[in-house]
Amino acid sequence: MKAFDFFCGAGGMTRGLLDAGIAVVAGYDVDEECEHTYEHNNPGARFIAADIRKIGIEDFQGMGNLRKFDDVLFAGCAPCQPFSTQRKGSGRRHDATLLGEFGRLVEAALPGYVLIENVPGIAKVRGFSTFRRFLHMLSANGYRFIYGVLDAKHFGVPQNRRRLVLLATRHLQPTLPGSKYGTSLRPFKTVRQAIYHFPAIGAGECHPIIPNHVAADIAEINLKRLRQTPHNGGDRRSWPSHLRLECHKGNYKGHTDVYGRMYWKRPAPALTGRCHSISNGRYGHPEQDRAISLREAAAIQSFPDGYVFFGTNKHIAMQIGNAVPVRLAEHLGKHILHLEASRI
């Protein structure tokens, strides 16, 4: 089976599908800064910098010696910010239309399989939403589909990351894969298993050999706060009063994850594009006085240690935090191949 990966970013979905045995022909993304990362780590898959709103079927028809798409997978993981619970502000964002643009390409090509990964909130928008219009398009074109919320930790990713996954096909009634981890025989992967093997570095330091093992610099006041944060899951509630933020003084009890440390023996919290900053979530190293490094963040997203990211540290953090976890993508790819084999 071959695949096209739309909104591919740094290639988390592509890498997982390749590991599952699916040949990814190309990845499309408007962010051309992802190209080096994508092509360096996914040989054979071509990165195409393009706005999906300007792509037509003629742009990829014939690629990979394809004329028809009946046994091809279209994976579309549109930017999720318009539907995220962490989104700030209000008002319609143009990103909310990108799923509809992906649907336009699906309708034109009629691929054998369609895969979507997004935040659960995409299915909760009221009315005839972008998501419901997409479902209507699938039904009108003979697709049967299933969707539900899967947590990446159930598929070998050391992270609590709940995502809506939709799988559609014109060949049979699809199913979603069952959990692979979370039992007494196969417990969840933990932060310790993901990052303990990386050597210690300080805040603002970069390891001389290990790619992307670099930690963000920290202001002196925040370094003092982190030193007062207990190891292995501690948070700001342990700080002395003179280190507390003005917005956290008094009886305020919210946002305890901010400046907090991860737990060694648990999956990490969901990573974002600011996962290298202790002020943006529970992204403190369990023991060392720094945020997790970019390399450690990639490991928590289940990228292999040899997956090298290119760009500024800020952009690399976005590449990592916005990616589809590799192991989740791999299990989805294997499940699709199993469905395909069952109909032959």
The 3 state secondary structure assigned to 8-36 is: CCCCHHHHHHHHHCCEEEEEEECCHHHHH
* pLDDT given at position 239: 87
* pLDDT given at position 253: 62
Whole-structure pTM value: 0.93
Which residues lie across from 49 on neighbouring strands? 29
- Residue extents of the structural domains in the chain: 2-178+325-343
Identity of the amino acid at 284: G
Catalytic residue among 77, 80, 206, 275: 80
The answer to whether residues 101 and 53 touch, using CB atoms and an 8 Å cutoff, is yes
* pLDDT given at position 248: 65
* pLDDT given at position 123: 85
Superfamily of domain 2-178+325-343, CATH level 4: Vaccinia Virus protein VP39 (3.40.50.150)
Question: pLDDT 10s digit of each residue in the chain, 344 long?
Answer: 999 999 999 999 999 999 999 999 999 999 999 999 999 999 999 999 999 999 998 888 778 777 789 999 999 988 755 444 444 444 344 455 899 999 999 999 999 999 999 999 888 887 668 899 999 999 999 999 999 999 999 999 999 999 999 999 999 999 999 999 998 889 999 999 999 999 999 999 999 999 999 999 999 999 999 999 999 999 888 888 888 876 666 666 666 778 899 999 999 999 999 999 999 999 999 999 999 999 999 999 999 999 999 999 999 999 999 999 999 999 999 999 999 999 87
80 a catalytic residue: yes
First to last CA, the chain: 13
Sheet of 46-49: strands edge to edge? 46-49, 23-29, 2-6, 72-76, 113-118, 162-169, 144-151
CA-to-CA distance for 260 and 92, rounded, in angstroms?
32
The answer to whether residues 293 and 213 touch, using CB atoms and an 8 Å cutoff, is yes
* pLDDT given at position 80: 57
The answer to whether residues 39 and 46 touch, using CB atoms and an 8 Å cutoff, is yes
The answer to whether residues 86 and 271 touch, using CB atoms and an 8 Å cutoff, is no
Residues 217-237 as b or e (16 or more Cβ within 10 Å = b)? ebeeebbebbeebeeebbbbe
DSSP 145: E
- Give the residue among 2, 145, 27 at the shortest CA–CA distance from 77: 27
CA-to-CA distance for 48 and 57, rounded, in angstroms?
14
